[in-house]
A and B are shown apart, each in its own frame.
Chain A
Amino acid sequence: DGGITQSPKYLFRKEGQNVTLSCEQNLNHDAMYWYRQDPGQGLRLIYYSQIVNDFQKGDIAEGYSVSREKKESFPLTVTSAQKNPTAFYLCASSRRGGYNEQFFGPGTRLTVL
């Protein structure tokens, strides 16, 4: 079955620690995205990548970093510079170019204590 996996489902970290969220897809999609969702708000774009070894900042990239070394993988690191890291993080993928449907993973709930 093709799809997107995110692990872990729940993640707890102490303040000041960096943490990396995993995202893997086997849909053969070129484009991948990271979003953040906070209560009562829509999804906000953190970073996106249209192709391997290339990525672009979204609306709220400060305090986050990404890499795209493989087509299937797009890990997100939440650094200690992110002021309010506690949130629900969603990874998505799509075909590149045009107006394509984005497919989402199940999300990771990050809580910083």
Chain B
Amino acid sequence: DQQVKQNSPSLSVQEGRISILNCDYTNSMFDYFLWYKKYPAEGPTFLISISSIKDKNEDGRFTVFLNKSAKHLSLHIVPSQPGDSAVYFCAAYSNYQLIWGAGTKLIIKP
């Protein structure tokens, strides 16, 4: 059973517009979440994280929102740039191990 779900395998967004990537989780005990970005044939790189005591965390063009009652988080990228084209993974900490979603491939169109 998938405890962290990214239901959109891919997303296409116009350059300069907002990209919104979504993630749902099933375990209400998860209390720390991270977003990673991954290019093909490379390791993931950390983007941004959020603790369950917050509902928003911002870092430059990247903002993560957490809705605990809905068990949902989202990553907003504004404005989207060509270099943002990659696969984005949502992950949650459980017993000091990361549980990963399947990823969403973001394509930024010129």
Query: What is the interface of chain A, defined by CB distance below 8 A to chain B?
Result: 4, 9, 40-45, 48, 58, 88, 90, 92, 97-99, 101-107, 109
Contacts and interface: CB of A to CB of B under 8 A. Distances in A.
Contacts of A48: 97
Contact of B89 (A43, A101, A107): A43
Contact of B102 (A41, A45, A88, A101): A41
A107 B96 contact: no
A107 B41 CA distance: 7
Nearest to B100: A42
Closest 5 pairs between A and B when the two form their complex, measured CB to CB: A104-B43, A42-B100, A99-B32, A43-B100, A101-B46
B40 to A, nearest CB: 10
Contact of A109 (B41, B91, B101): B41
A4 B97 CA distance: 19
Contact of A105 (B34, B43, B100, B103): B43
B98 interface: yes
Contact of A107 (B9, B43, B97): B43
Contact of A42 (B32, B51, B89): B89
B4 interface: yes
